[in-house]
Amino acid sequence: MARIGVFVCHCGENIASVVDCERVAKISASLPGVTYATDYKYMCSDPGQDLIKSAIAEHNLNGVVVAACSPHMHETTFRKAAQQAGLNPYLCEMANIREHCSWVHDDHEKATQKAIDLVRIMVEKVRRNHPLEPVRVSVTKRALVIGGGIAGIQAALDMANGGIEVVLVEKEPSIGGHMAQLSETFPTLDCSQCILTPKMVEVAQHPNIKLYTYSEVENVSGFVGNFKVTVRKKARSVNMELCNGCGLCTQKCPSRKIPNEFDRGLSNRSAIYIPFPQAIPNKPVIDRDHCIHFKTGKCGVCEKVCGTKAIDFDQQDELVNEEVGAIVVATGYDLYNISMDQPNDKLEGYGEYGYGKYPDVIDGLQFERLLSATGPTGGKILRPSDGKEPKNVVFISCVGSRHNAKGITYCSKICCTYIAKHGMLYKHKVPDGNAYVFYMDVRTSGKRFDEFWRRAVEEDGLVYLRGRVSKIYEQDGHLIVKGADTLSGVAVEVEADLVVLATAIVPQPNIEKLFQNLGISYDEYNFVTEAHPKLRPVESSTAGIFLAGACHSPKDIPESVAQASAAASKALILLSKPELEREPLVAKVNEATCIGCFYCLRACPAKAITEKEIKNRAGEVLRKVSEVNPSVCTGCGTCVSVCFSNSIDLEGFTDEQIYAEINSVIERMSVIQQ
Amino acid sequence: MRFAYYPGCSLHSTAVEFDISTRAVAPLLGIELVEIPNWVCCGASPTHQRDSILSYALAVANFNKAELVNEQIGVQCASCYNNLRRALFELHHSDEIKKKVEKVAGLDFGNNVQVFHLLDVFRNQIGLEAIKEKVTHPLKGLNVAAYYGCLLTRPPEAVAFDDPEWPTSMDDILQTCGATMVDWPYKTECCGASLALSRTDVVQKLSHDILKMAKTHGADCIAVACPLCHSNLDLRQKSIEKKFAENLELPIFYYTQLMGLAFGLSGKELGLDKLIVNPWKLLEEKGIGSKKS
Ligand SMILES: Cc1cc2nc3c(=O)[nH]c(=O)nc-3n(C[C@H](O)[C@H](O)[C@H](O)COP(=O)(O)OP(=O)(O)OC[C@H]3O[C@@H](n4cnc5c(N)ncnc54)[C@H](O)[C@@H]3O)c2cc1C
């Protein structure tokens, strides 16, 4: 016999201002199976929870329905309370009368009716609930970090220092990410390399870190605590054991006209190269697309000059398997492509700015390279076209960002501060030069960031013009920047020698493939989505996978590092447990009726279903049926919907329960119609 | 492919050569243009300045007439195109506006009409391949600056069929016709538009800048898709030359006239005699056509 208690929450004003909670409780009390019903201002508060606990004891309840907010918010809270009162937690359910009712309706009468219906539905469900026990799984005490930018480096170091073995996978030949390309960093203007390289070295030397550079994650399977990862180590064509990093090969390589990615095309590199002087590992890699040996079979100069016989033209990609319990995604960002050719058709380029056509129209990272002591100009500000020192430099903010017509609505957040930095550093190097900034709003939020940009204006004399730039073109050896100064209401034209575009921060190209492989959600721009925007900012939508840095949204270094440490500690918490408990809301096969078509096996996105042989006593296989591994099953229910013989049910969401839920409202409606 | 053709007032008067050349070129590409019987003003300049609802009501009147011919409407005048598309946009996006407009017009707005600029039709529906097949007299050696003006692609949410700031459809078509397209920055600058009447000085300055920019980027002529741009650049060119003491001598063609030349049509069939800046010297010099033929 069902003895269900219904607890209706006012959520302060949130529910009670629209729904008549007292009436909902009163009517609920008369529903079949309900023994007790009441309402209260804040059911999630301590006294609210006590109310539930004492009602369970007093009325000997064997089921609980809490009519309140979304189960995402408080299901765990109320199930815990039920458990403390001695009830199996899976006999407690929530009816969402806030997000699904009071927040979206304003007709009080109808909303109250709907709230009663929502309770009615849940009561029917709870009548058919039965006690469930959590699934227990073991934990592999190792972690994987994907991406070796500052975020990945920080997360790897924190976890390694916490005593966990860490596998760090970086797709480029060196770790460091974009921070390695920066000159000096706001707001303190300390040299980026000086604060980054010690951390890179620490990664390389840490006994708990296994570093795979020039490698990518090829496949991920498993689940929280027990992920199986396949890493592709791309052929470097250099034997890392033998190579001593002397660099002679890179000096002698005859193929030298390849645009240097690290300098963003502002200099050239050889086909066998070390990406930058402080690279980790500091050993070269052969770029096979440009290597004469790989293109024609001739050359082989590097092989000849190498004293340690480290060049290995026959090296193949290698696949290695790793088992880890937690994953931190730190794949960082890329810059919006300004040209007309866009990676996806939601984005429009800026043909009117002539990027790629005029060599002196460059992006922010290219300017970082011009500022950098290790850059192509040795830190002198010399423009790409003719190597002259530019006397008038225009910086343009929001190129791509906050521009609906170009397809990106969000703010890239870090540009306003780095533009101020760029202008400032430029003025320090070219004191008689002029720096103009076209901006929409100056958004330098961050500790001491506002003071920083004020300093750029007040002490270094940057000229800020509020307006967009409509076009850039070349005339008589100058770049004409046509824009608007909306504060004085005039059209302005600046004759510039160099234009720096603060292009939008976007995720890495094609990164969604990795995210799909990991099974984590991402937004329409391909930034990873966090589990909760306020309360779970470093967790992905999938248990055991955490996120850090600019792969989540545009971020500066302090934020990336903070998030990385947070992700690392979340992972450490997870890995500190001897075993994990998982929700038992998983699929269950009725072996008696399963016809062994294995349609479910093919449909299962979590790869949780396997074939099971049913044998007779003599050990002969009679037939095969599906079997669900409860520690892998995510409870999505796909198998249930594709099962022809109706042999799979989802615990906690059985067909019987769902039909009973639906029938309860249909019955009421037919009553109304009569 | 059949279109309800909306010429608008300019193509029946000051821009008659745009109309002539359009009617000459379209059938060669398999487009049938049926002029909307008794079309009325599109609701441009004076009307939309004064009262947007009245402007949309005129558009609805035209849509109703068009539906008798075809639900796809083809337009050439950039201003008509802009107005009709904007009206469509508003009618689709606001029930309140739709109700008001239907009341003022005394007509229902059937949701089915579509408005296309013929440049869009040529570029994206007919396609460059089909255009190429028709080219018999490539515009070899002719350096053309394609000028789109302000109305053809903006505001983008309502009208754009091409990049709003850096359109390329006219460039693509004329390049296919054998012309050398000039890479120049003033494709979408303002010519001054209807300020021609009230502030001629402003128009002279803006149009001068456009002509000058085209010239310094190596253009022999300019191609346009808007009657108002055309009259500012063509009709006023003499006075601009005088005012700025410069010799510009840039023939201003409607893009359909250049397509027609490439398709082997004669100057007469394309209304070239209506142009103010004489195109023949240039065309003869480049061996593209002669006045006599
Ligand atoms: C012009 C400019 C100036 C800036 N100046 C400053 C400043 O002065 N101060 C400041 O605080 N911030 C600054 N920033 C921001 C700073 O660059 C970022 O905050 C920081 O780099 C983010 O670090 P990250 O590790 O999240 O990403 P990234 O630096 O992008 O690193 C991501 C790493 O992941 C790797 N990766 C990507 N995909 C994969 C994959 N599938 N598998 C394996 N590895 C992968 C990448 O190769 C890269 O090494 C600036 C940014 C720009 C554009």
Q: Examine residue B58 and state whether it is found in any structural domain, yes or no.
A: yes
SS3 state at A420: helix
Claim to verify: residue B230 and residue B269 sit in the same structural domain: yes
Chain B: residue whose CA lies nearest to A469? B165
At residue A17, what is the residue type? S
pLDDT at position B46 = 79
- Nearest by CB to residue B185, choosing from A349, A350, A471, is A471
For residues B168 and B176, what is the distance between their CA atoms, to the nearest angstrom? 12
Name every chain A residue with its beta carbon within 8 A of the beta carbon of B163: 340, 348-349, 351
pLDDT at position A72 = 86
Q: Examine residue B125 and state whether it is found in any structural domain, yes or no.
A: no
Name every chain A residue with its beta carbon within 8 A of the beta carbon of B171: none
Q: Examine residue B124 and state whether it is found in any structural domain, yes or no.
A: no
Atom of ligand 1 nearest to the CA of A335: 53
Contact A380, A389 (CB under 8 A): yes
Please spell the DSSP secondary structure of B25-44, one letter per residue: HGGGGT-EEEEPTT----ST
Partners of residue A473 on adjacent β-strands: A480
pLDDT at position A347 = 67
For the Cβ of A465 lying below 6 angstroms from any atom of ligand 1, the answer is: no
pLDDT at position A607 = 81
Contacts of B20-23 with CB under 8 Å at 24 or more apart are B20/B269, B20/B270, B20/B271, B20/B274, B21/B254, B21/B256, B21/B257, B21/B259, B21/B260, B21/B269, B21/B270, B21/B271, B22/B76, B22/B118, B22/B254, B22/B256
Identify the burial level of B180 via C-beta atoms within 10 angstroms of its C-beta, where 0-12 means exposed, 13-18 middle and 19 or more buried: middle
Q: Considering the domain A587-651 in this protein, what is its CATH number?
A: 3.30.70.3270
For the Cβ of A172 lying below 6 angstroms from any atom of ligand 1, the answer is: yes
Claim to verify: residue B101 and residue B229 sit in the same structural domain: no
Tens digit of pLDDT at every position of chain B (293 positions): 999 999 999 999 999 999 999 999 999 999 999 999 999 999 887 788 889 999 999 999 999 999 999 999 999 999 999 999 999 999 999 999 999 999 999 999 988 999 999 999 999 999 999 999 999 999 999 999 999 999 999 998 899 899 888 999 999 999 999 999 999 999 999 999 888 889 999 999 999 999 999 999 999 999 999 999 999 999 999 999 999 999 999 999 999 999 999 999 999 999 999 999 999 999 999 999 888 76
Atom of ligand 1 nearest to the CA of A514: 41
Chain B: residue whose CA lies nearest to A405? B156
Chain A interface, Cβ < 8 Å to B: 340, 348-352, 354, 357, 405, 470-473, 475, 480
Domains A142-330+516-575 and A334-506 in one fold: yes
- Domain of B7? 2-119
Claim to verify: residue B239 and residue B207 sit in the same structural domain: yes
Q: Examine residue B126 and state whether it is found in any structural domain, yes or no.
A: no
pLDDT at position A344 = 59
Claim to verify: residue B178 and residue B241 sit in the same structural domain: yes
**Could you tell me the pTM of the whole model?**
0.84
Q: What CATH code is carried by the domain that includes residue B163?
A: 3.40.50.11810
Claim to verify: residue B47 and residue B83 sit in the same structural domain: yes
For the Cβ of A275 lying below 6 angstroms from any atom of ligand 1, the answer is: no
Give the β-pairing of A63-68 and B114-117: unpaired
Going by C-alpha positions, the residue among A309, A234, A475 that lies closest to residue B209 is: A475
For residues B6 and B75, what is the distance between their CA atoms, to the nearest angstrom? 5
pLDDT tens digit sequence for A473-500? 998 889 999 999 999 999 999 999 999 9
Q: Does domain A142-330+516-575 have CATH number 3.40.30.10?
A: no
Claim to verify: residue B113 and residue B169 sit in the same structural domain: no
Burial call A162-191: b when 16+ CB within 10 Å, e when fewer: bebbbbbbbbbbbbbbbbbbbbbbbbeeee
Compute the distance from residue A184 Cα to the ligand 1 centre, in Å: 14
Claim to verify: residue B271 and residue B147 sit in the same structural domain: yes
Nearest-Cα distance to chain A for B185, in Å, is 6
Q: Examine residue B130 and state whether it is found in any structural domain, yes or no.
A: no
Which of B95, B119, B143 is at the close of a domain? B119
Residue that is written with structure tokens 């103010």 in the block: B276
Claim to verify: residue B155 and residue B206 sit in the same structural domain: yes
Phi/psi of residue A400, each to 5°?
A: 100, -50
Q: How many domains does chain B have?
A: 2
pLDDT at position A407 = 81
Ligand 1 pocket, mutate which of A167, A203, A285, A331 (most atoms under 8 A from CB): A331
Tokens found for residue B189:
């600058």
Name every chain B residue with its beta carbon within 8 A of the beta carbon of A357: 183
Nearest-Cα distance to chain A for B36, in Å, is 33
Compute the distance from residue A392 Cα to the ligand 1 centre, in Å: 29
Window 203-262 of B: residues touching A by CB (8 A cutoff) are 216
Nearest-Cα distance to chain B for A354, in Å, is 9
- Nearest by CB to residue B166, choosing from A340, A475, A480, is A340
Compute the distance from residue A330 Cα to the ligand 1 centre, in Å: 9
Q: Does domain A334-506 have CATH number 3.40.50.2300?
A: no
Does B3 contact A at CB distance below 8 Å?
no
Claim to verify: residue B101 and residue B146 sit in the same structural domain: no
Residue that is written with structure tokens 């170009």 in the block: A406
Nearest-Cα distance to chain B for A402, in Å, is 16
Chain A to chain B Cβ contacts (< 8 Å): 29
Claim to verify: residue B49 and residue B182 sit in the same structural domain: no
Residue that is written with structure tokens 């359910």 in the block: A93
Q: Considering the domain A4-132 in this protein, what is its CATH number?
A: 3.40.50
pLDDT at position A342 = 57
Claim to verify: residue B178 and residue B52 sit in the same structural domain: no
Question: Which regions in chain A score pLDDT beneath 50?
Answer: none
Which of B119, B153, B174 is at the close of a domain? B119
For the Cβ of A368 lying below 6 angstroms from any atom of ligand 1, the answer is: yes
pLDDT at position A340 = 58
Ligand 1 pocket, mutate which of A146, A158, A179 (most atoms under 8 A from CB): A179
Compute the distance from residue A575 Cα to the ligand 1 centre, in Å: 27
| Structural domain boundaries in chain A | 4-132, 142-330+516-575, 334-506, 587-651
Q: Examine residue B62 and state whether it is found in any structural domain, yes or no.
A: yes
At residue A660, what is the residue type? A
What is the side-by-side order of every strand in the sheet holding B72-75? B32-35, B2-6, B72-75, B114-117
- Contacts of residue A97, defined as CB under 8 A and 6 or more positions apart, other chains included, come to A8, A15, A19, A24, A67, A68, A114, A115, A118, A119
Claim to verify: residue B89 and residue B11 sit in the same structural domain: yes
Name every chain A residue with its beta carbon within 8 A of the beta carbon of B156: 405
∠ CA B180-B186-B188, nearest 5°, is 105
